[in-house]
């Protein structure tokens, strides 16, 4: 064996570097903060062997700033000594930034993203990058970055001049930007206006519209909607049927006088498809701007969407993992367990119910006139196979893509969808990154940020006079989520009316049990306790002690979505403490529509529908009805198209720098040992509960 001699100098040098790094890494940052003279500090307890240099590196704070805030502090630290560390004060260069610089200093949290920061502070991603040298290395946990306070200068107020306002002319049309391959016939079908009225507003317009062409569409709705076609040379009834996406019988019924052979110059009436009312009640819920002209009134846009019916033939790609290769690997004893019950998850069958629920929606909608082809692809977590699939020429012809499930595959397909202007649906993820810089993505699962925003809104509207408590097990567990909740409460929670002047109180259970609650709770108003934990031991013990206090204080506990899946929670505690949880899904098994679905699923597949079956049905129903009503460019009318489905309520909102995210959160309340939906939703600035 060949041996190598390492000089002593290198051993010494390596030991010196390693020893220094080890000392730095051994410093554990404190989570204890305290406000002193209006400034926030970490209170760090010195451990044996820690140096001032190592502490400064651990907190990313300049040594001189630590000395300035600790009178008499020397380099000789003693174990147990408390050192004040300025919170949110970065290195010397960043510390020179003052309030007049136009920036605030932000400490990067674990798993933080530029997209999340842009939403939190209301600043564009580009502005954050520009303020931080482009962030070539991305965001690093614990580092400090500059957040521009505002990227838009406030204009000087203009002098007031006493001029009588001139009445503005009310337009009787909307301006619409045509999509690729759209024709005048498509516009007639969508908006139910006559072709003559469109030509009157758009002199010289041709039957085939140009991509991004701006056309005027009348909104009066008083003209007779009738479409005619002048026969050209060699045209037949069959060719007309193909051109207008209808059957030969439909054309012959509308034109009983025509013979088998059409004559050049002959005028043929083209019947418009009947407007099929949607089986689901549609309720407009917000005023999100649509891609009509900015001068168009909201009521006009809503009216145009209400009377649209695009119809047509659609192609939908459904991409889910079937793990077909796994069938060969299954053993009989893996399919049936000892107690003759099917295991919860068998990998090749995980998404089968999603597919079955989706196809049930397709079958139902075809009975109402939907004309669609479903292309089903087995797309697993395989980048190479996914890219190979996208080389298939038929993929460019899709009107909608649903899936894939896995993030790597979805990212690849979403890029393809953006390139070819095809809307794509992400069925499961809550991660906001899938929306960034891609206006064609629809994300069904709302994010944690929207959950907190909805929660604070709920507190402001339903618990104005309540004492608010936020609880966690210890200072370290769930730190990221807890700090984000504090940020939302600090920024958005309305001031409590007297005598409840404090916004909220914090409970650290491992430190003081329910001491804080006992000394700050009130007996004549509600006390709302919020916890973001799913720790079994903590929740059981905490709920038990709160339950013992329920006769002294009126208590409402608010938990997280994961509580729905926790079988160890005591129903008695949940019921006694008026427990409420936030959830992105809810199934009312007493609803007649749900009952019909469950019965149909059992009849078709001889098993009980689980969560994936309901989600598959909801996705199919929502997006295929949107396609049939509004066409492939259905995003125009999404702001007026929220739906309560079997499991989901879809209220999509356009994100500032990307696609569409569902904003709806259910609030479920335990009553009579069963969760009931008491969700609060916005409606023109007012508040409605479900069922009102």
Average pLDDT value for residue range 378-386? 91
Confidence of residue 562 (pLDDT cuts 50, 70, 90): confident
DSSP string, 553-599: S-EEEEE-GGGGG-TTS-HHHHHHTT-EEEES----TTSHHHHHHHH
Confidence of residue 685 (pLDDT cuts 50, 70, 90): very low
Cα-based torsion angle of the residue sequence 548, 554, 559, 564 in order, rounded to the nearest 10 degrees: 70
> Which tokens hold the place of 269?
């009436």
Q: Give the span between the Cα atoms of 189 and 533, in whole angstroms.
A: 52
Best CA proximity match to 355, nearest among 4, 24, 28, 601: 601
Helix (H, G, I), strand (E, B) or coil at 280: coil
Q: Give the span between the Cα atoms of 108 and 145, in whole angstroms.
A: 7
Give the Cβ contact number of residue 264 at 10 Å: 10
Among 36-40, 343-347, 523-527, 549-553, the least confident range: 343-347
CA torsion sign for 506, 511, 513, 517 is negative
371 backbone dihedrals φ, ψ, rounded to 5°: -115, 100
Across 110-124, 147-161, 500-514, the highest mean pLDDT is recorded for 500-514
Which secondary structure element, helix H or strand E, spans residue 349, and what is its range? none
Average pLDDT value for residue range 200-205? 84
Confidence of residue 400 (pLDDT cuts 50, 70, 90): very high
Could you give the domains of the chain?
Answer: 23-92 (3.10.350.10), 105-148 (3.10.350.10), 173-304 (3.10.350.10), 313-331+342-446+589-667 (3.40.50.2300), 448-583 (3.40.50.2300)
Burial class (CB in 10 A: 0-12, 13-18, 19+), 626: buried
Confidence of residue 226 (pLDDT cuts 50, 70, 90): low
Question: Looking at residue 459, what is its pLDDT?
Answer: 92
pLDDT(436) > 60: yes
Q: Bridge-partner residues for 467, per DSSP? A: 527
Q: Give the span between the Cα atoms of 137 and 530, in whole angstroms.
A: 36
Residues 6+ away with beta carbon under 8 Å from 130 = none
Q: What is the CA radius of gyration of the chain?
A: 31
pLDDT(9) > 60: no
Question: Looking at residue 144, what is its pLDDT?
Answer: 76
* Chain segment 452-495, per-residue pLDDT in tens: 989 999 999 899 889 999 999 888 877 888 888 888 898 888 87
Average pLDDT value for residue range 108-119? 70
Q: Give the span between the Cα atoms of 451 and 468, in whole angstroms.
A: 17
Helix (H, G, I), strand (E, B) or coil at 680: strand
Q: Give the span between the Cα atoms of 178 and 531, in whole angstroms.
A: 49
178 backbone dihedrals φ, ψ, rounded to 5°: -70, 145
Q: How many Cα atoms within 13 Å fall on the side-chain side of residue 92?
A: 4
Best CA proximity match to 361, nearest among 275, 280, 307, 445: 280
- Average pLDDT value over all residues in the chain: 76
CA 519 to chain centre: 39
* Maximum alpha-carbon separation in the chain: 106
Confidence of residue 245 (pLDDT cuts 50, 70, 90): low
Question: Looking at residue 318, what is its pLDDT?
Answer: 97
Question: Looking at residue 401, what is its pLDDT?
Answer: 97
Q: Give the span between the Cα atoms of 257 and 263, in whole angstroms.
A: 12
Question: Looking at residue 150, what is its pLDDT?
Answer: 52
Question: Looking at residue 111, what is its pLDDT?
Answer: 60
Q: Which residues of 333-357 are buried (b: 16+ CB within 10 A; e: fewer)?
A: eeeeeeeeeeeeeeebbbbbbbbbb
Q: Indicate the DSSP class of residue 348.
A: G
Residues 6+ away with beta carbon under 8 Å from 140 = 108
More confident residue, 113 or 256: 256
pLDDT(292) > 50: no
pLDDT(286) > 50: no
384 backbone dihedrals φ, ψ, rounded to 5°: -65, -45
Question: Looking at residue 24, what is its pLDDT?
Answer: 39
> Which tokens hold the place of 241?
């049927």
Average pLDDT value for residue range 487-512? 83
Question: Looking at residue 58, what is its pLDDT?
Answer: 73
* Chain segment 644-679, per-residue pLDDT in tens: 899 999 999 888 778 999 999 999 998 888 888 988
Q: Give the span between the Cα atoms of 667 and 376, in whole angstroms.
A: 35
Triad 302, 306, 309: Cα angle to 5°: 135
Q: Bridge-partner residues for 102, per DSSP? A: none
Helix (H, G, I), strand (E, B) or coil at 423: strand
Between the two ends of the chain, the Cα-to-Cα distance in Å is 84
Confidence of residue 418 (pLDDT cuts 50, 70, 90): very high
Average pLDDT value for residue range 619-633? 90
Best CA proximity match to 585, nearest among 660, 659, 668, 691: 668
Average pLDDT value for residue range 335-359? 62
* Chain segment 37-93, per-residue pLDDT in tens: 777 788 888 888 888 888 887 776 778 888 888 888 888 888 888 888 887 544 333
Question: Looking at residue 13, what is its pLDDT?
Answer: 34
pLDDT(334) > 60: no
Residue with tokens 């408390």: 82
Predicted TM-score of the model (pTM): 0.60
pLDDT(536) > 50: yes
More confident residue, 339 or 194: 194
pLDDT(95) > 70: no
Average pLDDT value for residue range 197-224? 74
Average pLDDT value for residue range 213-219? 77
């Amino acid at each position: 064996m060949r041996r190598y001699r390492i000089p002593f100098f290198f051993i010494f040098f390596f030991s010196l570097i390693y020893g220094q790094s080890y000392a730095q890494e051994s410093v554990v940052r404190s989570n204890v903060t305290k406000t002193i003279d209006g400034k926030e500090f970490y209170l760090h307890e010195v451990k044996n062997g820690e140096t001032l240099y190592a502490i400064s590196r651990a907190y990313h704070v300049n040594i001189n700033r630590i000395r300035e805030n600790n009178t008499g502090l020397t380099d000789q630290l003693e174990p147990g000594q408390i050192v004040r560390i300025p919170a949110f004060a970065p290195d010397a260069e960043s510390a020179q930034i003052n309030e007049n610089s136009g920036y605030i200093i932000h400490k990067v949290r674990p798993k933080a993203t530029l997209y999340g920061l842009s939403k939190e502070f209301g600043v564009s991603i580009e502005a954050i990058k520009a303020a931080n040298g482009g962030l070539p290395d991305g965001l690093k946990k614990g580092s400090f970055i500059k957040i521009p306070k505002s990227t838009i200068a406030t204009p000087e107020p203009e002098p007031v001049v006493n001029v009588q306002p001139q009445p503005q002319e009310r337009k009787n049309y909307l301006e619409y930007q045509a999509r690729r391959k759209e024709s005048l016939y498509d516009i007639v079908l969508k908006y139910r206006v006559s072709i003559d009225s469109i030509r009157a507003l758009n002199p010289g317009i041709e039957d085939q519209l140009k991509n991004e062409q701006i056309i005027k569409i009348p909104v009066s709705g008083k003209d007779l909607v009738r479409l005619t076609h002048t026969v050209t040379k060699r045209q037949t009834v069959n060719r007309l049927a193909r051109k207008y996406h209808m059957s030969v019988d439909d054309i012959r019924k509308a034109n009983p006088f025509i013979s088998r052979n059409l004559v050049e110059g002959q005028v043929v009436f083209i019947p418009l498809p009947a407007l099929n009312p949607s089986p689901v009640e549609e309720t407009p819920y917000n005023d999100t701007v649509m891609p009509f002209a900015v001068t168009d009134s909201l009521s006009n846009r809503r009216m145009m969407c209400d009377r649209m019916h695009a119809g047509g033939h659609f192609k939908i790609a459904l991409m889910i993992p079937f793990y077909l290769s796994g069938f060969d690997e299954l053993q009989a004893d893996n399919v049936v367990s000892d107690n003759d019950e099917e295991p919860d998850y068998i990998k090749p069958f995980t998404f089968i119910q999603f597919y079955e629920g989706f196809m049930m929606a397709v079958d139902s909608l075809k009975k109402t006139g939907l004309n669609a082809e479903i292309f089903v692809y087995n797309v697993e977590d395989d980048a190479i196979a996914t890219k190979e699939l996208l080389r298939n020429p038929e993929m460019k012809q899709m009107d909608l893509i649903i899936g894939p499930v896995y993030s790597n595959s979805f990212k690849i397909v979403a890029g393809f969808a953006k390139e070819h202007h095809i809307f794509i649906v992400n069925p499961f993820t809550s991660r906001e990154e899938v929306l960034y810089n891609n206006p064609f993505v629809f994300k069904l699962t709302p994010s944690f940020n929207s959950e907190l925003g909805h929660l604070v809104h709920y507190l402001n509207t339903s618990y104005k006079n309540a004492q608010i408590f936020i609880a966690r097990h210890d200072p370290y567990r769930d730190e990221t989520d807890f700090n984000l909740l504090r940020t939302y409460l600090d920024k958005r929670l309305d001031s409590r009316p007297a005598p409840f002047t404090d916004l909220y109180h914090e409970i650290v259970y491992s430190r003081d049990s329910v001491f804080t609650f006992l000394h700050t709770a009130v007996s004549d108003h509600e006390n709302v306790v919020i916890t973001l934990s799913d720790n079994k031991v903590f929740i059981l013990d905490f709920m038990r002690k709160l339950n013992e206090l329920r006769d002294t204080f009126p208590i409402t506990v608010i938990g997280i979505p994961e509580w729905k899946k926790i079988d160890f929670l005591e129903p008695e505690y949940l019921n006694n403490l008026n427990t409420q949880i936030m959830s992105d899904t809810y199934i009312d098994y007493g609803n007649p529509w749900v009952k019909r679905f469950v019965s149909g699923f059992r009849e078709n597949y001889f098993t009980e529908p689980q969560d994936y079956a309901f989600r598959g049905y909801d996705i199919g129903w929502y997006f295929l009805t949107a396609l049939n009503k509004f066409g492939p460019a259905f995003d125009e009318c999404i702001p007026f198209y929220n739906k309560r489905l079997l499991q989901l309520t879809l209220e999509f909102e356009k994100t500032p720098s990307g696609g569409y995210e569902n904003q709806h959160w259910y609030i479920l309340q335990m009553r009579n040992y069963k969760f009931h939906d008491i969700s609060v939703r916005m409606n023109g600035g007012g508040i409605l509960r479900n069922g009102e």
